Amino acid sequence: MTEFVLTPGMIGFAATILKALFVIGMALQIVPGCIYFERKIAAYVQHRIGPNRVNFTIGTLRYLMPESMRDVIPEGLARVKLIPGSLQPLADAIKLAFKEEVIPEKADKLLYNLGPMLTFIPVGTALCFLPFGATLIVPDANLFGIEIQRTVIEMSVSNVVPGMLMLLAVSSLGVYGIACGGWGSGSKYPLMAAVRAAAQMVSYEVPLGIAFLIALASVGSLDGQEIVRNQAETWHGFGWLVFRQPLAALIFLVAMFAENNRLPFDLPEAEPELVGGYHTEYTGLKFAIFFLGEYCAMILMCGLFTTLFLGGWSLGPIEPVEVFGSTIEPLITAEGGILNVLLSVAVFTVKMLSVLLLQLWIRWTLPRFRYDQLMDLGWKVLTPLALANLAITAILISKFPNFTFFA
Amino acid sequence: MAGSHDHVEEALPPGKSFADRVYLPAVMRGLKLTVQKFFGTVTDKHATVQYPEVGIYDASEAERAIGHPNPRYRGEHILVKDEQGREKCVACLLCMAACPALCIHIEPEPTPPEWGDRERRPKVFEIDMLRCIYCGYCEEACPCDAIRLTPKFYTPTTSRTERVYDKERLLENNPAAQIPQRPAK
């Protein structure tokens, strides 16, 4: 029997496929949960109960058991609701999937059909460049006669070096989907919503991009992993850019809400003025894909905020640190085995979900901005502030290369 | 149009201080309020009543819910009975005249001689609940306190003819019995 050799190329290829499946699976799994929590939080903030009719009970588990064992669960226990209303997103998805698809007569068929795709594809692509975990080292090994060669696997689907730049470039394409959908619907309200969305997203792209640039300049790299490592190496692991560049973080956060068309900047979906916004004329699965694209964009932006400003997957230092004479071993290291990677992915997910929670929380707190207020805030406040911050950062970097407070 | 612009500036609400213009203190206050409301709902009270399972007049649920149903809510009518269990109505037709929706139909008849206290009573007393606008004018017009509006709002039927209530049904109309009881599973 000739020995079978797994080269780094082969392992890397398999790993890329697995990582892509993981990222897209994660994104698609977080969306229903996010919708459920959004509705629950809305309800609780408004002294209501929220969805509690479509339940996952202990009795539901019976259907996973062989028929002879179903009586094991007593009747009283079987009716206990595990999480009230937790299957509501599933019910909604089934409803959307089986709805009749109506295409308006005056719609531009090509643009109408392109709209949902163009919202989802850029977001899905941009998710590929998000570094979601520490680097995995597969050691030299010999398993059951298969020789495995040492491989370094970066925990982002695509590890091109200017990955962050790619991410920024691709994610801004989402506005095309909204514009196509709004124009192609052949209806006035979606068109107005699309114009609003395009103007808003283009306007807020400027402060977002500059805040992004401040973060990149402070770290001095376009590589996502390097950005995380830099944050973890500064200030004993807590040199997160949200502490080093608080103003940039705030600007990024505000621009992020506007980019995602979330309250308080959800003018493209202002129900009292525009019926349902740019997806008014969409039904069934196309509407669902618009929805999915929107929520995936939220997840992407939260992940990006986590990477840039909250230290990404790192938790504390990534190298042994001397504090008061004693050495503290790092919880998560930059490179390591599978446990280290799983822990880092968990940390990243928790941080990202916290930012997501903040987005939901803000949504049910703030009223909608007026359109002129929105434009004022974007062009007259955020953009000059971001530019000033960038200029100060640039000067500090060039004059004091070793000064870590700003850079 | 400088003058009108000045007027707009004057009409702006308070909030021109620096703290108000950067929005952030207000945002923080708002976030604090919503998180208080959130945990308030989790631990204490919510406004929702799980209606078909729990009646809105159940004392336990009414205590828990923030809003109580108003006892003066104007729902379906009831014909009031006197001490002997006879209808109080004397068929004076004032409610019929007062009704803006023309939904009350009354045909009077003489009372039996042994009643003694009044001369007329309604032979037919019909209210078309589909036409009624629940304004309560009939209640106001009645000189004998014989017709009242009750808080009964649970009124589905399967046909339109059932929505025309006759005298017997109006006499027996009971707001306390309005919550449908679900059969136990």
CA distances to B104, B126, B148, B164 from B87, rounded to whole Å, are 16, 14, 12, 19
Which of A41, A362, A366 is opposite residue B38, by nearest beta carbon?
A41
**Per-residue pLDDT, B125:** 92
- Asked if the model's pLDDT at residue B8 lies above 70, the reply is no
Which of B37, B47, B50 is opposite residue A45, by nearest beta carbon?
B37
Boundary of a domain, candidates B38, B64, B90: B64
Which of B35, B37, B46 is opposite residue A49, by nearest beta carbon?
B46
The total of other beta-carbon atoms located within 10 Å of residue A110's CB is 10
* Whether residues B123 and B168 fall in one domain: yes
Percent of residues, chain B, with pLDDT higher than 90 = 19
* Whether residues B24 and B106 fall in one domain: no
* Whether residues B87 and B169 fall in one domain: yes
* Mean pLDDT of the B153-179 span: 78
Choice between A106 and B61, residue whose per-residue pLDDT is larger: A106
* Whether residues B83 and B60 fall in one domain: no
Is residue B6, in this structure, part of any structural domain at all?
no
B91-134: per-residue pLDDT in tens? 999 999 999 999 999 999 998 888 888 889 899 999 999 999 99
Q: A119, A289 in Cβ contact below 8 A?
A: yes
Choice between A134 and B12, residue whose per-residue pLDDT is larger: A134
- Work out the minimum CA distance from A283 to partner chain B, whole angstroms: 31
B23-49: per-residue pLDDT in tens? 888 888 888 988 888 888 877 777 777
Q: Sorting pLDDT into bands at 50, 70 and 90, what band is B52?
A: low
* Whether residues B85 and B22 fall in one domain: no
- Asked if the model's pLDDT at residue B152 lies above 90, the reply is no
Choice between A381 and B156, residue whose per-residue pLDDT is larger: A381
For A79-171, where are the alpha helices, taking DSSP H only? Answer: 88-97, 109-127, 163-171
- CB-based contact (8 Å) between A41 and chain B? yes
- Work out the minimum CA distance from A134 to partner chain B, whole angstroms: 34
Alpha carbon B91 to chain centroid, angstroms: 26
Boundary of a domain, candidates B34, B64, B94: B64
B129-149: per-residue pLDDT in tens? 999 999 999 999 999 889 988
Is residue B136, in this structure, part of any structural domain at all?
yes
Is residue B50, in this structure, part of any structural domain at all?
yes
**Rounded to an integer, what distance in angstroms lies between the CA atom of residue B181 and that of residue B55?**
9
Sign of the CA dihedral running A36, A39, A40, A41: positive
**Rounded to an integer, what distance in angstroms lies between the CA atom of residue A8 and that of residue A30?**
32
What is residue B173's three-state secondary structure? coil
Per-residue confidence in pLDDT tens, chain A, 407 aa? 566 777 778 888 888 899 889 888 888 888 888 888 888 888 888 888 888 888 887 777 777 777 777 777 777 777 777 778 888 888 888 998 898 888 888 888 888 888 888 888 998 888 888 888 888 888 777 777 777 778 888 888 887 878 888 888 888 888 888 888 888 888 888 888 888 888 888 889 899 999 988 888 888 888 888 888 888 877 777 778 888 888 899 999 999 988 888 878 887 777 777 777 788 888 888 888 888 888 898 999 999 999 988 888 888 777 777 777 777 777 777 777 788 888 888 989 999 999 999 988 888 888 888 888 888 888 988 899 999 999 988 888 888 776 665 44
Nearest C-alpha in A relative to B34: A45
Is residue B69, in this structure, part of any structural domain at all?
no
* Whether residues B118 and B167 fall in one domain: yes
Could you tell me the residue range of the domain that residue B98 belongs to?
77-178
Is residue B70, in this structure, part of any structural domain at all?
no
**Per-residue pLDDT, A406:** 47
Is residue B13, in this structure, part of any structural domain at all?
no
Q: Sorting pLDDT into bands at 50, 70 and 90, what band is B183?
A: very low
Task: Mutate one of B21, B28, B39, B41 to test the A interface: name it (highest A CB count within 10 A).
Answer: B41
**B135: domain CATH number?**
3.30.70.3270
Q: Tell me the Ramachandran region of residue A218: left when phi exceeds 0, alpha when psi lies from -120 to 50, beta otherwise.
A: alpha
Is residue B138, in this structure, part of any structural domain at all?
yes
Q: How many CB pairs under 8 A join A and B?
A: 40
State the pTM of this model: 0.78
**Per-residue pLDDT, B56:** 60
Quote ipTM for the complex: 0.74
* Whether residues B92 and B163 fall in one domain: yes
Is residue B43, in this structure, part of any structural domain at all?
yes
* Whether residues B95 and B122 fall in one domain: yes
* Whether residues B24 and B59 fall in one domain: yes
Boundary of a domain, candidates B5, B40, B64: B64
* Whether residues B35 and B104 fall in one domain: no
**Per-residue pLDDT, B181:** 45
* Whether residues B35 and B108 fall in one domain: no
If one counts the domains in chain B, the total is 2
* Whether residues B117 and B174 fall in one domain: yes
